[in-house]
Structure 1
Amino acid sequence: MLLKIKNPRAVINRKTFMLALCEIANAASGEGIDLKKPKVRGKILKVFKDGLENGRAEIQRRFEAKEASGAATLLAGAYLLDQLIRTLHEFTITHVYVLPDDAMGLIATGGYGRAEISPQSDLDIMFLLPKKANPTSSTAVEWMLYMLWDMGLKVGHATRSIEEAVKMAKSDITISTSLLEARWICGNHDLFTDFEARFERDAIKGQEAEFVRAKLEERDLRHDRMGDSRYVLEPNLKDGKGGLRDLQTLFWIAKFLYRVNDIAGLVDKGVLDKSDARRFIKAQRFLWTVRCHLHYLAGRPDETISFNVQNDLAQRMDYTDREGVSAVERFMKHYFLVAKDVGDLTRVICAVLEDQHTKKPMLSFPSFNFRRRISAGFKVDGGRLTVEHEDVFKDDPVNLLRLFVEAEKYDLDIHPEALRLVQKNLKRINKRVQKDPVANALFLELLTNIKGPMRGLMRLNESGVFGRFLPDFGRVVAQMQYDMYHVYTVDEHTIRAIDILWKIEQGLLAKDHPLSTEVIKDLQSRRVLYVAVLLHDIAKGRGGDHSVVGAEVATELCPRFGLNEWETETVAWLVLRHLDMNRTAYKRDLDDPKTIKDFVAQVQSPERLRLLLILTVADTRAVGPTVWNNWKASLLRELYYSAQELMTGGLPTQRREARADRVRKKLIDKLDHWSDADVDWYLAQGHANYFLSYPAEELAHHAEIVLNAHNSDTKLYLETRAVENIDVTEVLIHTLDHPGLFASIAGAMSLSGANVVDAKITTLGNGMALDTFWVQDGEEHAIAAPEKIKRLKDRIEAALTGRLRPARELAEERIRRLPSRTNVFEVAPRVLVNNEASQSATVIEVNGRNRQGFLYDVTRALTDFGLQITSAHISTYGERAVDVFYVRDVFGLKVDSPSKIAALKKTVMQAIGTAKGEPIAKVKQTQ
């Protein structure tokens, strides 16, 4: 580290510090009191604690006043501890346990050995003893350790001879790594010099290959444990992919192989060039700074950039809002770009190390095999594609794309030197190259690669070529969305969506997406779909509706890619409408004929319907590993088939009663064991919508329940069943209908930990309610465990019989509960009233921050307003609740009076306001 600490005596003045300790020692000696006595030891400890606290306070003040960088703060932290430990050692062997100066050596190891001590970091010390140690040394070590612990320091320690240290290093990779960065603090320096020589001779030489293998394996296991992506919602700064530990691993490997002490040494050895070294240092210093802020915010060694600190970090690091992008999103984008740089460095350094330390075969068969086929300017070296000369990109900048196409064509890795040369020549990708037909054809070849586009696009993105060739894509590289729904940055989400599209096309996801796998075979233009998936989120973070802006971008880009007029128009339409199928499937009543009619009016053609279905599946699946589920799949399938039926001459909505009659006939066949009178009675209880909302088998099951309840005067019937193929639990309730029934059930379900995802509400002709709810647990799976089912049924029954009051129980539950992680987000509450989406009901869409009891509060407000809920469609996107209700007034009519609509909005807005006891969120989201 080339930094120097400004005015180090303001951090700790060792001379003054030692004088204070000597005064205590002299006073105790004059009174004949042993320094080890608790009373005197307490005075000594106070001097050390005051020195530590004052030093830390000064280091923090400098950092937060922006007088010191993160790097300087780490160095100052190590300096403070060095001075404390040197003083403690000197005082101990001089006044407490009199020992010669060469009795031991105090050695900093691990991060402390690198002189990198974050505000709340542990410190590792090795007490190095000679082979024939003074018997008093162990007692002195123990006294010093207890002083350090009592100061509040977290100390990892070892007391060893040189032989013991080297032996353990040879058998334990963790110890070997820690000792690799050993640094002398005080005491016997000759002993430390001897240790370094022995460690070099016995623990390093001949162990290089094993060390590299072990560290890379350790890194891979750590990545798997932390989530194998640089782009996770709440990254771990230290151990996550692209974090500090990755940089440290690279340096450990290089240090083990080359015995260098700093980054400049790696440049001298040819491992890094000057550009790589600058990126390494820049990434390291950024991560150090963020880590210091994290530690100071948490007051503990917190390494996770969690939601509740991201906004504070952005503010501390002077990020501000820009149009379409919040300050916190800009900060996280910077973090992800740094993580990407760390990934680039990892790839380059590991490849260079492999190249320099792997014996090459006498004959390079790949070069022989590919020589005649690979494009001019490229060659194969050791099985990796590289350039023939350094001017290959200068001579023809289109080669910057051709390199990646050739690598994919022949399934080759790309040589690190070629990647370095790519990054040095990125500026050659100017507007002329961007518009070049050959370059665009190469890009489209990579995008639609029949062997799989993901690896090629990932390489293109990591190299920086993707963003330079397609500046609109460059704007979303590392662009995060500050919510709990989107797991990946926009660029990674897009590339993952393209990969899912390819897997659907290849039939690799037929089990999960059978419909998409089937219909993709009938597409007229596969490249329309690939380009649409590429561009669907291209305008995120620009402000305004990203679908509208994205369609405009698509209109400009598609002709550049070589798409014809029809293809361009179709891509632009898909980008504009890429959210419509999800919105309709999840937020509308698919049994309402107007829902299908309106959707078909937007889609207009079977080809667009097929394209939109597949785009929707790929987009949703790529949001995150837990977002897609069978329930969503079933809704999309239902919408697709209904739309297809209407498009291809299916029965028009005017003949709905005729369709219901056909269902009734099927039902009569299934009730052939009933009397005619009972059949007629049951058929009279339901209207056409009811009979069209369920399959005949389900209606027959309902019929048995309804008739049994009628004959036995049963007031409440409740049953549950897990519907495994769509991953929900169905809850069927038959009870006397009354105002507030839905709200009571919703409250009981909330208290039992069940999340409602859909509901169909039926009031039979005899005044009984036959309501079906589909619920999931907190992990978006069916509720199947017997104890959870019992809890769910008990809570519902208690609510419907008056033994449980949801409003009071929920209020008490909110007081008891820990604050929700969603509290850091502000979701602007919104109530939309739509009288055009249904012919028979008013559709109300409610948006707000999700919390326990949200659905209960909203449905209670609708009930209090005098409305009857006929169906409900419940969606949760991370912290955002989006609930849609089909309602009628007490006369069975729509709410169409402007004054009533205004009053309705006000009532529901009050219901979705922040619940009592929950803090108001501070972070605004961008749409």
Structure 2
Amino acid sequence: MTSTDTTKETEDSGPGGYAAARLRLLTEGARSGPPRRTALSGLTDDWLAGLFDAGAAGPRGVSLVAVGGYGRGELSPRSDLDLLLLHDGGDPAAVAALADRIWYPVWDLGLALDHSVRTPAEARRTAADDLKVQLGLLDARHLAGDLGLTAGLRTAVLADWRNQAPKRLPQLQELCAERAERQGELQYLLEPDLKEARGGLRDATALRAVAASWLADAPREGLADARRRLLDVRDALHLATGRATDRLALQEQDQVAAELGLLDADTLLRQVYEAARVISYASDVTWREVGRVLRSRAARPRLRALIGGGKPVPERSPLAEGVVEQDGEVVLARTARPERDPVLPLRAAAAAAQAGLPLSLHAVRRIAAAARPLPTPWPAEAREQLVTLLGSGRPTVEVWEALEAEGLITRLLPDWERVRCRPQRNAVHLWTVDRHLIETAVRASELTRRVHRPDLLLVAALLHDIGKGWPGDHSAAGEIIAKDVAARIGFDRDDVTVLATLVRHHLLLVETATRRDLDDPATVRSVAEAVGSQGTLELLHALTEADALATGPAAWSSWRASLVADLVKRVSAVLSGDVPEDPEATAPTAEQERLAVEAFRTGGPVLALRAQTDPPGEDEEEPSGEPEPLGVELLIAVPDQPGVLPVVAGVLAVHRLTVRTAELRAHDLPDPVDSSVLLLNWRVAAEYGSLPRADRLRADLVRALDGSLDIAGRLAERDAAYPRRRGVVAPPPRVTVAPAASRHATVIEVRAQDRPGLLHRIGRALEEAEVRVRSAHVSTLGANAVDAFYVTGHEGVPLPGEEAAAVARRLEEMLRG
């Protein structure tokens, strides 16, 4: 059907004809992207013009104007229609009747409508008071009626915008910053808002407004394609959901990817992130240019008065060989020759990061166009400049992004391409893989005084997740890549080995500290064998902290830091040969002995709650003068009997206490008592609010042990009320046996979605499997629980291989059910 045919059907059939033509257009598989948006805008233009002209001739001095996104011709399937009925102040009744003739058919079709009726003077006054209205009018487009009226408004609005630009553009920049603060950065979000987040469609529109002011302009390269890509994704999102939404929710990403013909949701997100980076970088450059122009205008009268006229020459301050500062940016010196100086890109970047200044767009593009590739291996200066760049702290991020925008990072480090804009489908992670690596380097720069080789720490931070672009275990793949990269950038053989070890084992300390029994000699010995030396251990400790801090708030805490520090201390002792090969188990403390005797005397559970704190280190100061709380230590003694673990875990869950670590062991009271008591040493924290009273905890423990408290029923009620996200399916639980993790027990590791009472269910399943739990090590990352249980048979020895595998299978089946 031609455009003329479509128009005729629309005119002949009215709203029904338009609706049918619109439906056919949206379901045509061959037409998508800009052609469909253009066709949908044209179809809507013709229909609205027909409504305007219907019946008798419309009043004179009236026009119908599309503004905002509709004015730009960017109609997505569920977009609002932004319309202005413009009139010269003539017959109010005739204008009102015309408005009804247009608005009501739009509403009847269920289309969202943002409408107004104004004279040109009213439109300009409203725009002067409301920046968003003024931005919408910048895209005003004539649809029907008095063309001269529309043209006059457009001319006046553009003149107002340009005259008011010194005042309006700072307001627009502030509006963009506030929106970014609320919505986050599109290029890193797992469920981004394509319109409102930083780097989204709103920012692309803001750049058009800046260009319309004639005060500054955005870098044009790639900007139109980035905007088109986000619009294409929004179109597919509207068709997939049937709703006017801009939020790309997790449960809809596969369907949107299929609508666009993409491989999967990760490919979709990567394309969205790439587009957002182009818009974000263009915004940064543009707003810097706006600020420079406005400062220059403000300073010009004063400068002319001082120097008696003439054009002032901007000052240039040297920063490094071939690199100078000019007007708040880092630019190349007039004598710089990037075609003859392969180290210049890194030298300029390092100088900019150290000075805390942005690299000018012109400088980066000149380098990208002319720079020669570095030889292999890199010269020492290049390696030193890379380390300087990585060690410059927070300014490193902006400088790195400038290099990335012009493709310089992948020229320096070709392996970077696989992690660039790669999403991480884990709610614990705040960033894409590449940004996480830079954030880790920023965090590592704060820890360089703790290690003897800060250069190795910073490079390991940059490379520790480089294997995430490859299939399989990213640590194993990363080790291979790190060896190649480290040799290429000029490290010697010993340093290459250390960097490869750091990348291979960057998760070793935190995983071992939170999931293994540190009193088990096999645990500490295995870490010592993997690390190999005190120097590598020191670097791995700092890398572990930097990695966790750069991941997100759920990945690091004083509690995790204390566990890792304890493990490092024990491993260091093994590496220095200061501990016996197989030390005896730690004897009960005096407090545990007292509780054990009291439990035997009363025949029931006794407990004590004690706050745990982390004293400041030698070089640390607590702002409040108080040590930071690590949680609460809960000591429990119970006469030996079956089912203690699930009962205690269930009671703690009922009282909304989160279990961080749990250790259980039998303690034989000395003669003449000759009885056994279970000692439980747990660390807990309240989900919210204050901790429960110890006497209430004990009372519920007594009732749970004698069967009068229905723990399962109470937890089922909590589970039913637990919030669930619509359409989000958690990955299935996984239970494995860790081979050779301990000589004294079998280690069963559980990975599952964290839920209230999870530890209670696991404990009950282990009791039903007739195994004894020696200790439990509980770790929660976001919505995922990773718990390790040291279990034995009733004889107190590890389970045979087949029996251990059977227990793991039964436990996994229970959790899946």
TM-score of the aligned structures, taking structure 1 as reference length = 0.77
Please state if 1:384 is matched with 2:288: no
In 2, Cα distance between the equivalents of 1:795 and 1:315?
Answer: 53
- Which residue number corresponds to residue 135 of structure 2? 177
In 1, Cα distance between the equivalents of 2:712 and 2:324?
Answer: 73
Q: Write the letter of the residue equivalent to 1:394.
A: E
In 2, Cα distance between the equivalents of 1:756 and 1:56?
Answer: 57
Alpha-carbon offset, residue 534 of structure 1: 1.6
* Contact residue 131 and residue 161 of structure 1 kept, 8 A: yes
Alpha-carbon offset, residue 622 of structure 1: 0.7
Q: Write the letter of the residue equivalent to 1:575.
A: V
The correspondence for 1:337, drawn from 274, 299, 306, is 274
Range with greater deviation from structure 2 (480-489 or 160-169): 480-489
SS in 2 for 1:76: helix
- Which residue number corresponds to residue 407 of structure 1? 352
Cα distance, 1:452–1:352 mapped onto 2, change above 3 Å: closer
Please state if 1:246 is matched with 2:246: no
Alpha-carbon offset, residue 733 of structure 1: 4.3
Alpha-carbon offset, residue 603 of structure 1: 2.6
- Which residue number corresponds to residue 664 of structure 1? none
Alpha-carbon offset, residue 407 of structure 1: 3.0
Please state if 1:129 is matched with 2:87: yes
Alpha-carbon offset, residue 845 of structure 1: 1.2
* Contact residue 748 and residue 792 of structure 1 kept, 8 A: yes
Alpha-carbon offset, residue 250 of structure 1: 0.5
Cα distance, 1:247–1:318 mapped onto 2, change above 3 Å: same
- Which residue number corresponds to residue 42 of structure 2? 79
SS in 2 for 1:314: helix
Please state if 1:883 is matched with 2:787: yes
In 1, Cα distance between the equivalents of 2:662 and 2:244?
Answer: 46
Please state if 1:188 is matched with 2:141: no
- Which residue number corresponds to residue 671 of structure 2? none
Cα distance, 1:198–1:559 mapped onto 2, change above 3 Å: closer
SS in 1 for 2:276: helix
* Contact residue 610 and residue 632 of structure 2 kept, 8 A: yes
In 1, Cα distance between the equivalents of 2:240 and 2:700?
Answer: 41
Cα deviations across residues 663-717 of structure 1 (Å, max 9, x unaligned)?
Answer: xxxxxxxxxxxxxxxxxxxxxxxxx3xx2xxxx5xx42x455444454444x344
Please state if 1:614 is matched with 2:607: no
Alpha-carbon offset, residue 844 of structure 1: 0.9
Cα distance, 1:243–1:749 mapped onto 2, change above 3 Å: farther
Alpha-carbon offset, residue 736 of structure 1: 4.7
- Which residue number corresponds to residue 623 of structure 2? none
In 2, Cα distance between the equivalents of 1:479 and 1:340?
Answer: 13
Cα deviations across residues 335-370 of structure 1 (Å, max 9, x unaligned)?
Answer: 222222222322333345555664376589996563
- 5+ residue gaps, structure 2, are 614-627, 669-674
Please state if 1:375 is matched with 2:321: yes
Alpha-carbon offset, residue 621 of structure 1: 0.9
* Contact residue 529 and residue 611 of structure 1 kept, 8 A: yes
In 2, Cα distance between the equivalents of 1:822 and 1:429?
Answer: 51
* Contact residue 78 and residue 243 of structure 2 kept, 8 A: yes
In 2, Cα distance between the equivalents of 1:375 and 1:907?
Answer: 67
Alpha-carbon offset, residue 817 of structure 1: 5.3
Q: Write the letter of the residue equivalent to 1:842.
A: T
Cα distance, 1:20–1:569 mapped onto 2, change above 3 Å: closer
The correspondence for 1:16, drawn from 9, 16, 22, is 9
Alpha-carbon offset, residue 873 of structure 1: 1.3
* Contact residue 398 and residue 433 of structure 1 kept, 8 A: no
Paired positions, count: 787
SS in 2 for 1:870: strand
In 2, Cα distance between the equivalents of 1:9 and 1:895?
Answer: 80
In 2, Cα distance between the equivalents of 1:234 and 1:737?
Answer: 50
- Which residue number corresponds to residue 905 of structure 1? 808
Please state if 1:583 is matched with 2:511: yes
In 2, Cα distance between the equivalents of 1:532 and 1:160?
Answer: 62
TM-score of the aligned structures, taking structure 2 as reference length = 0.87
Alignment of 1:337-376 (within 5 A): 337-354=274-291, 358-359=296-297, 370=317, 374-376=320-322
Q: Write the letter of the residue equivalent to 2:206.
A: T
Q: Write the letter of the residue equivalent to 2:59.
A: D
In 2, Cα distance between the equivalents of 1:737 and 1:75?
Answer: 77
In 2, Cα distance between the equivalents of 1:751 and 1:900?
Answer: 32
Cα distance, 1:820–1:193 mapped onto 2, change above 3 Å: closer
Alpha-carbon offset, residue 486 of structure 1: 2.2
Range with greater deviation from structure 2 (384-393 or 407-416): 384-393
In 2, Cα distance between the equivalents of 1:79 and 1:367?
Answer: 50
* Contact residue 872 and residue 886 of structure 1 kept, 8 A: yes
* Contact residue 257 and residue 268 of structure 2 kept, 8 A: yes
- Which residue number corresponds to residue 620 of structure 2? none
Alpha-carbon offset, residue 825 of structure 1: 5.0
- Which residue number corresponds to residue 560 of structure 1? 488
Please state if 1:543 is matched with 2:452: no
Cα distance, 1:284–1:396 mapped onto 2, change above 3 Å: same
Alignment of 1:468-483 (within 5 A): 468-483=411-426
Please state if 1:829 is matched with 2:734: yes
SS in 2 for 1:127: strand
* Contact residue 124 and residue 157 of structure 2 kept, 8 A: yes
Alignment of 1:522-537 (within 5 A): 523-537=451-465
- Percent identity over the alignment? 27
- Which residue number corresponds to residue 31 of structure 1? none
Alpha-carbon offset, residue 231 of structure 1: 1.4
Cα deviations across residues 57-95 of structure 1 (Å, max 9, x unaligned)?
Answer: 223312xx2x1232233333333433333333334xx3x
- Which residue number corresponds to residue 119 of structure 1? 77
In 1, Cα distance between the equivalents of 2:42 and 2:692?
Answer: 57
- Which residue number corresponds to residue 59 of structure 1? 25
Alpha-carbon offset, residue 742 of structure 1: 1.9
- Which residue number corresponds to residue 213 of structure 1? 170
In 1, Cα distance between the equivalents of 2:704 and 2:246?
Answer: 44
- Which residue number corresponds to residue 240 of structure 2? 297
In 2, Cα distance between the equivalents of 1:52 and 1:100?
Answer: 21
In 2, Cα distance between the equivalents of 1:216 and 1:584?
Answer: 47
Please state if 1:771 is matched with 2:728: no
Cα distance, 1:491–1:817 mapped onto 2, change above 3 Å: same
Alpha-carbon offset, residue 162 of structure 1: 1.5
SS in 1 for 2:665: coil
Cα deviations across residues 526-572 of structure 1 (Å, max 9, x unaligned)?
Answer: 21211221221122121122222222222233233332333222112
SS in 2 for 1:845: strand
* Contact residue 752 and residue 786 of structure 2 kept, 8 A: yes
* Contact residue 488 and residue 623 of structure 1 kept, 8 A: yes
In 1, Cα distance between the equivalents of 2:101 and 2:612?
Answer: 65
- Which residue number corresponds to residue 574 of structure 1? 502
Range with greater deviation from structure 2 (99-108 or 789-798): 789-798
Range with greater deviation from structure 2 (433-442 or 866-875): 433-442
Alpha-carbon offset, residue 229 of structure 1: 6.7
In 2, Cα distance between the equivalents of 1:790 and 1:298?
Answer: 53
Q: Write the letter of the residue equivalent to 2:465.
A: D
Cα distance, 1:172–1:480 mapped onto 2, change above 3 Å: same
In 1, Cα distance between the equivalents of 2:692 and 2:224?
Answer: 55
In 2, Cα distance between the equivalents of 1:353 and 1:124?
Answer: 29
Please provide the CA RMSD for this pair. Answer: 3.4
Please state if 1:419 is matched with 2:356: no
Alpha-carbon offset, residue 610 of structure 1: 1.3
Alpha-carbon offset, residue 166 of structure 1: 0.8
Q: Write the letter of the residue equivalent to 1:403.
A: A
In 2, Cα distance between the equivalents of 1:814 and 1:147?
Answer: 48
Alignment of 1:230-245 (within 5 A): 230-245=187-202
* Contact residue 590 and residue 596 of structure 1 kept, 8 A: yes
Cα deviations across residues 359-396 of structure 1 (Å, max 9, x unaligned)?
Answer: 3765899965635x6524x5554343334579933344
The correspondence for 2:644, drawn from 720, 734, 741, is 741
Alpha-carbon offset, residue 586 of structure 1: 1.0
In 2, Cα distance between the equivalents of 1:61 and 1:554?
Answer: 49
Alpha-carbon offset, residue 319 of structure 1: 3.2
Cα distance, 1:332–1:906 mapped onto 2, change above 3 Å: same
In 2, Cα distance between the equivalents of 1:722 and 1:118?
Answer: 57
SS in 2 for 1:102: coil
- Which residue number corresponds to residue 674 of structure 1? none
Cα distance, 1:379–1:811 mapped onto 2, change above 3 Å: closer
* Contact residue 231 and residue 489 of structure 1 kept, 8 A: yes
SS in 1 for 2:60: helix
Alpha-carbon offset, residue 126 of structure 1: 1.8
In 2, Cα distance between the equivalents of 1:381 and 1:411?
Answer: 13
The correspondence for 2:52, drawn from 75, 80, 89, is 89
